[in-house]
Amino acid sequence: EIAHSKGTTKEKYERIVSLYNSQVILSHRTSQSILLQQYSTPAPIAYLMGVFCGLPNLHKTGGIAFEPSAGNGLLTIAAKPEQVYVNEIDYTRNRNLQTQGFANVSNFDATDPFSYQDAEGTYDAVLTNPPFGALDKAVDFHSFPIRVLDHLMALRALETMKNDGKAAIIIGGHTRWDELGRIEKGKNRIFFNYLYRYYRIADVIQIDGHKLYTRQGTGFPVRLILIDGRKQKP
């Protein structure tokens, strides 16, 4: 309700921060949430991600946003639900999403390509905070070996974005650099090499999880990746 009330973006954001700070710390976790690494995105971050992606104006432009690992839908708070397609494989969370008035609710495996639902290049905005974790084996993603679950799910999500669309993605961990100023060799360098090859990266913001995720039941460091379209030529 705050996200769609009167006032400037800054005023709404400050009210959401105040609401978040009054939230009880989520210390109880279920076996399912532990197994699937289910953490909700803090509301202030979710709102700013939506603002970057233009969610508050989608109802004016007729645009559609997509959240491919939607959980209970918090990441979409800046949009009117009728402008958002959501996907969630967990039965209970999917059932919760079906009560919120979203334009479409699906239950596909978000580690697979979304081509089977004709979603490639479809959405004006893509927002996702996929579960963190390692893959049992590397996935060959257009010749890039992807070894991390949230990296793979982020790349699958980006395939559904229009060429001139926007995306906001949260992935786990912090980026570190070697003595030459390059991203350290390994899984992160491979992932970001792919992103910077094919997408216009507006920013990559390191977030202190101990400060901003504590009320969600974790303190894991994360990165917020902001994307402003796909490159015409890699």
> Is residue 170 scored above 80 in pLDDT?
yes
Q: How many helices (H) and strands (E) does the chain have?
A: 8, 9
pLDDT at 113 over 50: yes
Q: What whole-number distance in Å separates Cα of residue 151 and Cα of residue 146?
A: 7
Give the Å distances, CA to CA, from 206 to 2, 8, 209, 222, 226. Answer: 26, 26, 9, 6, 12
Mean pLDDT on 106-129: 90
pLDDT for the residue 28: 46
Confidence grade of residue 32 (pLDDT, cut at 50, 70, 90): very low
Burial of 39 (0-12, 13-18, 19+ CB in 10 A): buried
Residue 203 to residue 225: CA distance in whole angstroms: 6
What pLDDT does 221 receive?
A: 87
- Encode pLDDT of 43-102 as tens digits: 899 999 999 999 999 999 999 999 999 999 999 999 999 999 999 999 999 999 999 999
Question: Can you give the pTM of this predicted structure?
Answer: 0.88
Instruction: Report percent pLDDT > 70 for the chain.
Output: 88
H or E segment and range at residue 171: strand 161-172
Average of pLDDT values for 157-174?
Answer: 96
Q: Return d(Cα 68, Cα 107) in angstroms, integer.
A: 9
- Which H/E stretch holds residue 191? helix 187-198
